[in-house]
Amino acid sequence: MLVYFAFGAVVFLLFFTQSIFSAEKVYEEALKSILERIDNPNIDVNMKDKHGKTALMIAVKYDHTKVVKKLLEREDIGVNIKDEDGDTALMLAAKYGSIGAVRVLLKDARTQAQAKNKNNWTAFMVAAGNGNTVVLKEILNDKTTDVNTQDTEGKTALIIAAEAANTEVVKTLIWDPRTNYNIKDMNGRTALMYTAKNGAIEAARALLFYCYYGHADYWVKDNTGKSARTIAIENKYRAITDLINERIHWDEPMDYDDFEHMGNPDAGIPCDY
């Protein structure tokens, strides 16, 4: 009972400090109390609340970096424990955009960055799905990150971002040479097809006119035999249809003057179209 009370006090203080963060003196006193309690060897730091969350998970949610670091000093800390949704501390940090916590967790050798939740999402995919570009870039810095891993529906981080019309995430992903633009999900749809379905014009533009590592395949078809162009036409997204037509024109043979004007795809010169 004493152990549970002590743990409950830590959790309560974590929530409390979030609500009074503007009162610096009170915050520092509360933080000091948390850090002292974490040092208590009688506290089970891996005890869970009713949603399966530990003190570490709550700390990363609010980006309490000092608390995260202190918890990680415990040899018995469960860095990769999962909550009721199968999310780890790193996944929650990615979800809430807690960049400080993400950096601290990634530096800890015990963190399993490629762990997956119930949807088969990694922390990387969680960041993409929630539009947290800063966190996404941080995880991309880890060269062991599998940027093309697929979830239970066959979706990659790029497909997830394209479906959500998150252009900044799409741009971030297509600048990474490891990203495969043309992976299909279980419906046979690519990232470009989802932009055509949802009318995500800027995301479609990024996929079609990215001039360094290539571009999305606009001819590939889904399980129903439809290409991205057909999907755009059916959904009455004329602007995306025009973009695809323009990409087709780009890929046609042209003379040197036209090539100079439109940009050199091999040299990474921005497209002027």
Instruction: Encode pLDDT of 71-94 as tens digits.
Output: 999 999 999 999 999 999 999 999
pLDDT of 39 strictly over 90: no
pTM for this entry: 0.80
Please tell me the least confidently modeled range out of 16-30, 50-64, 145-159: 16-30
Mean pLDDT of 16-33: 49
Phi, psi for residue 29 in degrees, rounded to 5: -65, -40
**CA distance linking residue 62 with residue 229, whole number of Å:** 43
- What band does 253 get if pLDDT is binned at 50, 70 and 90? low
- In Å, what is the CA distance from 18 to each residue of 9, 67, 219? 14, 12, 51
pLDDT of 178 strictly over 70: yes
Top-confidence residue, 212 or 198: 198
**CA distance linking residue 62 with residue 16, whole number of Å:** 11
Mean pLDDT of 129-140: 94
Q: What is the pLDDT of residue 55?
A: 87
pLDDT of 11 strictly over 80: no
Mean pLDDT of 43-65: 88
**CA distance linking residue 200 with residue 194, whole number of Å:** 8
Run of H or E residues at 32: helix 24-38
**Per the structure block, which two tokens stand in for 23?**
């009162």
Q: Is 227 helix (H, G, I), strand (E, B) or coil?
A: strand
**CA distance linking residue 32 with residue 34, whole number of Å:** 5
Mean pLDDT across the chain? 83
pLDDT of 2 strictly over 60: no
Distance, CA of 108 to chain centre: 19
Mean pLDDT of 25-41: 65
Is-contact 104 111, C-beta < 8 A?
Answer: no
pLDDT of 17 strictly over 50: no
Of all residues in the chain, what percent carry a pLDDT higher than 90?
62
- In Å, what is the CA distance from 93 to each residue of 61, 86, 100, 103, 112? 6, 14, 9, 10, 13
**CA distance linking residue 167 with residue 213, whole number of Å:** 17
**CA distance linking residue 228 with residue 95, whole number of Å:** 30
pLDDT of 148 strictly over 90: yes
Q: What is the pLDDT of residue 272?
A: 33
Mean pLDDT of 32-58: 82
- What band does 166 get if pLDDT is binned at 50, 70 and 90? very high
Mean pLDDT of 196-222: 87
pLDDT of 262 strictly over 60: no
